[in-house]
Amino acid sequence: MKETESEELSSASPSCSPPPGSHSAAPPAEAPGCQKLEENRDMEIKQVTLHKRSGQVKDHSKKVGVLTAEVVSSCVSNLGRFGSGLHHVYHHLSLPSQDLSDVSVLSKYVHLEMLELPHNKIKDLSCVSHMPYLVTLNASHNEISSFFGFQPPMNLKEVNFSHNRITKMEDLSAYSSLCNLDLDYNSLSEITGLEQCFKLTHLSVAHNKISRISGLHSLPLTHLCLRGNQLERIEGLEDLKCLQVLDLSLNRITSLSGLLNLHLLGSINLEKNMISEIQECKHIHDIFLLRDLNLVGNPVQDQPDYRLAVIFLLQHLTVLDQEKVTVEEKVSSVNQFDPPLDVVAARDHMTHLVYQLMQPQVLYDSTMPTTDSPYPMLVLTGPQGCGKRELAHRLCQELNEYFAHGTSHTTRGPYFGEEDGIDCHFVSEEDFQNMIHMGKFIQTMQYGGHSYGLSREAIEEVAREGLACCVHMELEGVFSLKNSYFEPRYILLIPTQMDKYMGHLTSRDLYTQAQIDMAVSRVELYANTNRQRLGFFDNVIPCADWEEAYQSLRQVVKEYLLLEEQEEGENNNRGSPDNTSNGHEPEEKLPSPRSGSGALASHSATPIDPSDPSYRNYFTKIQAELSPEKNPVELASIRRREHLVREAMVGKSPGVYSQLFKSSAQSAPSSLQNPDAHVNEASSSDESRASSALTVPGSAGGLNDSVEPQDISVLGHNLETLKDQTPEATRPGTDLQDVVVSPSSDKRPGSNNKPILPPIPAGRKTPASPSPATSPRPSPHPAGGEGGDVDREG
Ligand SMILES: Nc1ncnc2c1ncn2[C@@H]1O[C@H](COP(=O)(O)OP(=O)(O)OP(=O)(O)O)[C@@H](O)[C@H]1O
């Protein structure tokens, strides 16, 4: 406002000017009692009201920048009662943008509760010392350089000193009611003096020169704004347990560390900082109330999959970078970064299918199995190092007339003693990727930073031998196979004694502690899968003791193959071998090879000794070395037998053997009922009993068996022990008793609908291997209790 205009207005309406000492807001009650003054006060209120109504008063500063009582009178509001209730005062005064530089007249307005003086030129606010009832003070956009340069009004709660010239904060312990302090756009380099502000919930110190967060310890701040400073790290906030909204935008912050314990934080603004790593979000992962995160203008936004990755890490976010997080984004993020096993499997399967279909040579490959032509397969699954690999190899050795190992490809390097092509096909990452693109794999998975894959060729190679393929793999592989046209039998081998399991992993001396932890943690994954997906595995075998586990596995597999009955039959009919009443050729009833190395061999394959450093090299080598010639009759017998095995493995209706011995199969389906069936049946150990009970071969998927309720009581002790030892033991719903005793399907899902197997493309290439009796590693169980040395063909 111009000076002349101001003068004019001022002189043009002298009546508007209240007499000295008279003002629109009454003096304090404790002021010297002056009845006249008090009477005048009421008069003035009326006057001011009249002025306000008539709109006559606009600006009445006598001098430029000097506030007059007239102006005050025109700008007060919020009439209220005072003291006894008989007096009236105005509580609010608002004088924005008046070019005021001198507001000393306000020292007479002692009853003001709200004073707004923004956008003026005020340097001195000492008048506020006379306003004991002041609650809100807005002096933003002025020229104030002294920090709280007035006596503390007792009830002062909100102060806005933004856009001033304050360079230093001073002790505010006398301002104990202060709740909200705005010091934006000053020249502060440090936050100090707030230690005693026990009611301060909102503090804004945006656009200052603060390079370090300090002086905030234990304040009850719920809102803190430090936007536009020079901060490089988040610190000094650890004790702000009430903090809900934090604005650190426009700084130079590179990490989100320092926010760890702020559990009530709901919103963090980090716009335009220097955060470059998605992993930084891990620092705020545990802030469960965090709903709104702003990382706009940070280098991290350029990271691939940035948005989904952040949403994945911070699942509770509802707004990211000022955009609402959609449900679809949340689902996609989980599917991308921690997909459920089904999703992984479906994706894996899709990949391989796509690549297989892209390969013309595969498309027209007559040997390519179709959905009606699954090759027989046996899949042993379980957590790393549970023994499945050793058991698979041993089974392939002992039942080498029926099984051969399907060797996976891997990008990991060979362990000491491992041989390429036997333990695994060791390939480079590049070769592995090439194989994927060439459609070579049935399934692949990532485990421990390496790729693993089972090639179609690995299975077909075995099938060409006329054998069923026995593989071992992690759970993801099983999920993947379930999507494929293969329909294997799935046997879960699960550690039931965690200390033993961990001890075994450690003693292998191959794994880091992190790898061991991961393997151990996955036990629960297997357990849950078995518990939640009835019939997902055809059998579950606890593998606390590998020898017992092997015996159980062997028994289960023999029941798949309906060999137990044959064995019985052979033993029972040793003196009458023809069985001609059934109309079968003698050799059809004589599955045991001449060498005795097959299912009816006189002894088990070499027991597993994990402490033997060469045990990883297995028996496969032995098999490869031994390949005696077979005569045509033997070969014909073997072929018929192979056919039956394949039928049995894919769940087709039982073949001649089971027809022959049907009655005995029904009368003694379970090894539990047969004291001779298990080597350690008589063992008094809990593990032994658990193992026996758990594997109940009669309910284990035998083709003719009905589901038999399993006696879980014998597992009690064992499982209690396990519960104590398992890290997840206390988690509700993770009772491992459920795990191991959940019913294995006695029939595989879909086993009723098994297609008939196609003829094996090329017949058996190499004859069956001879007995492991010729193994350089003599079996410690030469008798084996498995029917003795039967050489029926001879
Ligand atoms: N094609 C595959 N698909 C899925 N999992 C696989 C595949 N091949 C191997 N695995 C599994 O990956 C895990 C890691 O294999 P690796 O050969 O490195 O294991 P390991 O340390 O020798 O343990 P293990 O004795 O259980 O095989 C094992 O559990 C193994 O069974």
Q: Would you give the DSSP letter of residue 748?
A: -
Tell whether the model's pLDDT for residue 281 goes beyond 80. yes
Tell whether the model's pLDDT for residue 732 goes beyond 60. no
Q: Is residue 205 part of a domain?
A: no
**Residue nearest to ligand 1 atom 15, measured at CA:** 384
Residue 479: closest CA among 429, 532, 430, 402: 532
Q: Is residue 123 part of a domain?
A: no
The span from the CA of 684 to the CA of 702, in Å, is 27
Annotate 278-328 with DSSP letters as a single string: GGGGGGGTT-TT--EEE-TTSGGGGSTTHHHHHHHHTTT-SEETTEEPPHH
Tell whether the model's pLDDT for residue 561 goes beyond 70. yes
Question: How far from chain centre, in Å, is Cα 160?
Answer: 45
Residue numbers of the domain that contains 58: 1-94
Cross-strand partners of 628: none
Instruction: Give the contacts of 489 (CB within 8 A, at least 6 positions apart).
Output: 377, 378, 379, 538, 539, 560, 649, 701, 748
Residue with tokens 């080598």: 621
Residue 668: closest CA among 702, 714, 713: 702
Residue 404: closest CA among 394, 412, 418: 394
pLDDT band at 60 (very low <50, low <70, confident <90, very high): very low
The span from the CA of 769 to the CA of 635, in Å, is 13
**Residue nearest to ligand 1 atom 7, measured at CA:** 473
The SS3 of residue 257 is coil
Mean pLDDT of 374-382: 89
Per residue in 29-65, is it b (16+ CB within 10 Å) or e — as a string?
eeeeeeeebbebbeebbebbbebbeeeebebbbbebb
The SS3 of residue 82 is strand
Tell whether the model's pLDDT for residue 756 goes beyond 60. no
> What's the farthest any 2 CA atoms get from each other in the chain?
140
pLDDT band at 80 (very low <50, low <70, confident <90, very high): confident
pLDDT band at 524 (very low <50, low <70, confident <90, very high): very high
Burial environment of residue 223 by CB neighbours within 10 A (0 to 12, 13 to 18, 19 or more) = middle
**16-30, 224-238, 590-604: range with highest mean pLDDT:** 224-238
The span from the CA of 92 to the CA of 781, in Å, is 100
The residue among 135 and 723 whose pLDDT is bigger is 135
Q: Which helix (H) or strand (E) holds 409?
A: strand 409-410
User: Which phi-psi region, left, alpha or beta, contains residue 648 (left: φ > 0; alpha: ψ -120 to 50)?
Assistant: alpha
Tell whether the model's pLDDT for residue 316 goes beyond 50. yes
Q: Can you give the pLDDT at residue 652?
A: 58
**Residue nearest to ligand 1 atom 19, measured at CA:** 384
Q: Is residue 582 part of a domain?
A: yes
The span from the CA of 164 to the CA of 187, in Å, is 8
Q: Is residue 14 part of a domain?
A: yes
Do residues 281 and 259 lie in contact, with contact meaning Cβ atoms separated by under 8 Å?
no
Atom of ligand 1 nearest to the CA of 510: 21
**Residue nearest to ligand 1 atom 6, measured at CA:** 473
- Percent of the chain whose predicted confidence (pLDDT) is above 90: 50
Q: What is the 3-state secondary structure (H, E, C) of 386-397?
A: CCHHHHHHHHHH
Q: Can you give the pLDDT at residue 630?
A: 61
The two tokens of residue 119 are 């956008």
The SS3 of residue 269 is strand
pLDDT band at 765 (very low <50, low <70, confident <90, very high): very low
Residue 556: closest CA among 572, 533, 540, 534: 540
Q: Can you give the pLDDT at residue 89?
A: 86
Lowest mean pLDDT among 12-21, 327-336, 469-478: 12-21
Give the CATH number, domain containing residue 480: 3.40.50.300
Tell whether the model's pLDDT for residue 500 goes beyond 50. yes
Out of 410, 447, 483, mutate this one to test ligand 1's pocket (max ligand atoms within 8 Å of CB): namely 447
Atom of ligand 1 nearest to the CA of 383: 29
- The ipTM assigned to this model is 0.97
pLDDT band at 143 (very low <50, low <70, confident <90, very high): very high
**Residue nearest to ligand 1 atom 13, measured at CA:** 384
* Sequence-separated contacts (24+) of 435-442 with Cβ below 8 Å: 435/409, 436/351, 436/352, 436/355, 437/355, 438/355, 438/359, 439/352, 439/355, 439/356, 439/357, 439/358, 439/359, 439/362, 441/352, 441/409, 442/352, 442/480, 442/481, 442/484, 442/486
Phi, psi (5° rounding) for residue 102? -125, 110
Domain final residue, candidates 61, 94, 127: 94
Spacing, Cα 732 to ligand 1 middle (Å): 29
Mean pLDDT of the chain, nearest integer: 73
**Residue nearest to ligand 1 atom 10, measured at CA:** 473
Instruction: Give the contacts of 276 (CB within 8 A, at least 6 positions apart).
Output: 254, 298, 299, 300, 303
The SS3 of residue 521 is helix
Do residues 24 and 48 lie in contact, with contact meaning Cβ atoms separated by under 8 Å?
yes
Count of the separate structural domains present in the chain: 2
Spacing, Cα 399 to ligand 1 middle (Å): 22
Q: Amino acid letter at 276?
A: S
Tell whether the model's pLDDT for residue 56 goes beyond 70. no
pTM for the model: 0.57
Q: Can you give the pLDDT at residue 637?
A: 66
Cross-strand partners of 541: 493
Q: Can you give the pLDDT at residue 457?
A: 92
Mean pLDDT of 756-771: 32
What is the crossing angle of helices 327-337 and 306-313, to 10°? Answer: 90
Instruction: Give the contacts of 654 (CB within 8 A, at least 6 positions apart).
Output: 562, 647, 648, 703, 704
Mean pLDDT of 400-426: 93
The SS3 of residue 228 is coil
The span from the CA of 236 to the CA of 217, in Å, is 7
Atom of ligand 1 nearest to the CA of 453: 1
Q: Can you give the pLDDT at residue 354?
A: 81
Q: Can you give the pLDDT at residue 348?
A: 85
Q: Amino acid letter at 217?
A: H
Digit-coded pLDDT (tens) for 92-116: 999 999 999 999 999 999 999 999 9
Number of H helices, E strands in the chain: 22, 22
Lowest mean pLDDT among 359-363, 404-408, 640-644: 359-363
Q: Can you give the pLDDT at residue 607?
A: 61
Q: How far is CA 129 from CA 39, 107, 134, in A?
A: 25, 7, 9
Mean pLDDT of 495-522: 94
pLDDT band at 585 (very low <50, low <70, confident <90, very high): very low
Residue 467: closest CA among 599, 596, 568: 599
The residue among 351 and 686 whose pLDDT is bigger is 351
The two tokens of residue 350 are 């899709």
Q: Can you give the pLDDT at residue 125?
A: 95
Atom of ligand 1 nearest to the CA of 476: 4
Domain final residue, candidates 70, 94, 118: 94
Tell whether the model's pLDDT for residue 245 goes beyond 90. yes
Q: Is residue 564 part of a domain?
A: yes
Out of 348, 384, 616, 620, mutate this one to test ligand 1's pocket (max ligand atoms within 8 Å of CB): namely 384
Q: Amino acid letter at 730?
A: T
Q: Would you give the DSSP letter of residue 410?
A: E
Domain final residue, candidates 94, 112, 134: 94
Spacing, Cα 379 to ligand 1 middle (Å): 12
Tell whether the model's pLDDT for residue 761 goes beyond 70. no
Tell whether the model's pLDDT for residue 375 goes beyond 70. yes
Tell whether the model's pLDDT for residue 124 goes beyond 80. yes
Q: How far is CA 191 from CA 122, 246, 389, in A?
A: 24, 16, 64
The span from the CA of 271 to the CA of 151, in Å, is 38
Mean pLDDT of 756-779: 32
Mean pLDDT of 125-133: 95
Q: Is residue 738 part of a domain?
A: yes
Q: Would you give the DSSP letter of residue 757?
A: P
Spacing, Cα 387 to ligand 1 middle (Å): 10
Out of 379, 411, 457, 474, mutate this one to test ligand 1's pocket (max ligand atoms within 8 Å of CB): namely 474
Q: Is residue 222 part of a domain?
A: no
pLDDT band at 577 (very low <50, low <70, confident <90, very high): very low
Lowest mean pLDDT among 325-329, 414-418, 541-545: 414-418
pLDDT band at 350 (very low <50, low <70, confident <90, very high): confident
Q: How far is CA 441 from CA 373, 432, 448, 464, in A?
A: 17, 9, 19, 17
Residue 765: closest CA among 600, 596, 635, 597: 635
Q: Can you give the pLDDT at residue 584?
A: 36
Q: Write out residues with Cβ below 6 Å of ligand 1.
A: 384-385, 388-389, 408, 412, 424, 443, 445, 447, 452-454, 472-474, 477, 510
Q: Is residue 783 part of a domain?
A: no
Lowest mean pLDDT among 254-268, 371-385, 542-556, 775-789: 775-789
Annotate 693-724 with DSSP letters as a single string: HHH-GGGTT-TTPPP-----GGGHHHHHHHHH
Burial environment of residue 1 by CB neighbours within 10 A (0 to 12, 13 to 18, 19 or more) = middle
Q: Can you give the pLDDT at residue 642?
A: 67
Out of 416, 427, 452, mutate this one to test ligand 1's pocket (max ligand atoms within 8 Å of CB): namely 452
The span from the CA of 300 to the CA of 317, in Å, is 17
Q: Can you give the pLDDT at residue 201?
A: 97
Q: Can you give the pLDDT at residue 178?
A: 97
